[in-house]
Each structure stands twice: as C-alpha cells, then as structure tokens.
Amino acid sequence: MRKVVRMFFLITILLFGFASAQKAIQLAYCSIDEDHLRMDCKYSLTPESPEAFCKYTQGEKLLDTTDSNEEQHALSKSRAKVRIFPGNICRLLFKNLPHGKSNFTCSIKQANLTTSKTSVVEKKLLLPCSAWSVLLQSCNGLLLTLMTLPMLLEIHWL
C-alpha cells in the first residue's frame, strides 16, 4: 500500500517538473473533416512586444503567415489559412492533408525574437476536433489532476 502511495507521489513530482518545463509554445491539432487539419499554436507575449506575427511552415515551404511582408507558397494559397485568435492562439486550417506523416512548424515572431515548435502529424492517428481532444493534447494539468487524485485517495484511506 505504501509503495503505491510513493509511486503516485513520485509521478506527481515528475509531472509538476514536466509542466513547469513547458516551452513558450504549445501545439494542439485535430481533424475537422477527414482530410482537413486544424492546428493551434498557443504562445505567450513578451512584455517588450505587444504584437506577434505567426507563420506555419512545412519544411522550407511557407504555408501561410500573418506577416504581410512574407509571401505565401503558391501551392498553399488554396490549402492553408492562418489567423490569430484571442488568447494568443495562432490557428492553421489546412485542407487535403496527405496520408502518412507530415511535419508542421509554428513560428512566433515578436520584436527581434522568434520561437518555433515542430510537430509530426500522422493522418490516421488524428482525433476529431472537440474540446476533449484539444484538452488532452494541450493540458498537462488534466493529467496532473488524474495522477494526483488516486494519491489523495490513498492517503485518506491510511
């Protein structure tokens, strides 16, 4: 019984460390339709820069950007659209996602600082867009809560 409590305690400590070590950018993705991808890139603004530009790339190919100084790749104009939403979320809507794995990179540019995060998306493993699928991908707090609850119940029973 005490081994179980120790194990949950250790896992909880590790999850706190993991949650606090998260980068400034978090990616969550899901499928809107069978062949359409929605990818949300959540970022935090720096105090020095109240405005941010967002862009998504696939390898060297620019899919779309909110920066009017950059040119979108010609083949992506009808397939990709990027917009910034309240809450510092940059959203990519990508049509006709190919089968297999695809790399998508979200880059956030603020003043002279650019941060990026890349994610590999496999079409057959995409969950349909819902609050639950986005929550599972982007919320370590949910996992932390689910791991802490059994530990609290074990302590109560001792």
Cα gap 117→41, rounded to integer Å: 9
Closest to 47 measured CA to CA, from 1, 113, 101: 113
Does the pTM surpass 0.75? The reply is no
Q: What is the pLDDT of residue 20?
A: 43
The answer to whether the beta carbons of residues 38 and 55 sit under 8 Å apart is: no
The shares of helix, strand and coil residues in the chain, as percent rounded to the nearest 5, are: 30, 35, 30
Q: What is the pLDDT of residue 55?
A: 94
Q: What is the pLDDT of residue 115?
A: 92
Query: In Å, what is the CA distance from 118 to each residue of 15, 25, 57, 59?
Result: 22, 10, 9, 10
Q: What is the pLDDT of residue 154?
A: 64
Q: What is the pLDDT of residue 19?
A: 46
- Those residues of the chain that have pLDDT short of 50 are 17-22, 134
Query: In Å, what is the CA distance from 67 to each residue of 9, 52, 115?
Result: 46, 9, 15
The answer to whether the beta carbons of residues 18 and 154 sit under 8 Å apart is: no
pLDDT tens for residues 90-130? 999 999 998 899 999 999 998 888 899 999 999 888 888 87
Query: In Å, what is the CA distance from 115 to each residue of 22, 82, 95, 129, 143?
Result: 13, 17, 25, 26, 26
Per DSSP, what are the bridge partners of residue 66?
Answer: none
